[in-house]
Amino acid sequence: MSGEAPGKRPRTLGLTGSIGMGKSTTAQMFAQAGAAVYDADAAVHSLYAQGGGGAAALAATFPGAVHDGAVDRAQLSALVLENPSALKQLETLIHPLLAQHRQQFYQQSLASRAPLLVFDIPLLFETGGERGLDAVAVVSAPPEVQAARVLARPGMTAEKFEAIRARQLDDAQKRARADFIIDTGQGLDAARQAVADIFAALTGPDWTPRPNQT
């Protein structure tokens, strides 16, 4: 997505953050500001739905998680959450399909002439997804706020929370690698202002893309 000459394409922003940081709400704010937003979680839901392609890709390796042509996400999660080998198999099968989804989104967004494309990807750094993007914004919050949000979710336990966090890059490491940080612990108004500032910076004439274009 970085092969076109500057000025001939919209700017691209990776949006990421650990579980419970408020990333989905922040992505909605970018959409309200006028950005085209790619939702990796929604893409996974689409792939796992009946006829979405994910079930066919996973059927041989995870037969217990595929029923009537669709993937049962709860059963799949139980199979891979604490099994690094199974998780690696899952990623090997699904990531190429997600890459196709992202490319389709990019091409459609070019036609829409959106000034900013936001790629909402939970495991952005973990999968090397930041390569080729103009900038990365990390959504963050204090640990106690994160824990309170996550543990309030139906069916969530402290053990499951820790297992999910173990898959994700530490928040401090993400913040250190970010071009922008959106602290949702300061409330919705502060987050909305941060989104507006980032949108203005990236769509303005003076932004310099990240040096790691590949």
pLDDT at position 212, please? 57
SS3 letters across 93-152: HHHHHHHHHHHHHHHHHHHHCCCEEEEECCCCCCCCCCCCCCEEEEEECCHHHHHHHHHC
Bridge partners (DSSP) listed for residue 120? 15, 39
pLDDT at position 8, please? 63
By three-state DSSP, how is residue 13 classified? strand
Instruction: Tell me what the mean pLDDT of segment 129-150 comes to.
Output: 94
**Residue bearing the bigger pLDDT, 5 or 106:** 106
Q: pLDDT above 90 covers what percent of the chain?
A: 61
By three-state DSSP, how is residue 39 classified? strand
Domain over 10-35+116-206 is classified CATH 3.30.460.10: no
* Model confidence, pTM: 0.84
Instruction: Tell me what the mean pLDDT of segment 29-50 comes to.
Output: 94
Q: pLDDT above 70 covers what percent of the chain?
A: 94
Q: Which two tokens stand for residue 41?
A: 């979680």
Instruction: Tell me what the mean pLDDT of segment 194-212 comes to.
Output: 86
How far apart CA 196 and CA 94 sit, in angstroms, is 33
How far apart CA 77 and CA 87 sit, in angstroms, is 9
Bridge partners (DSSP) listed for residue 137? 15, 180
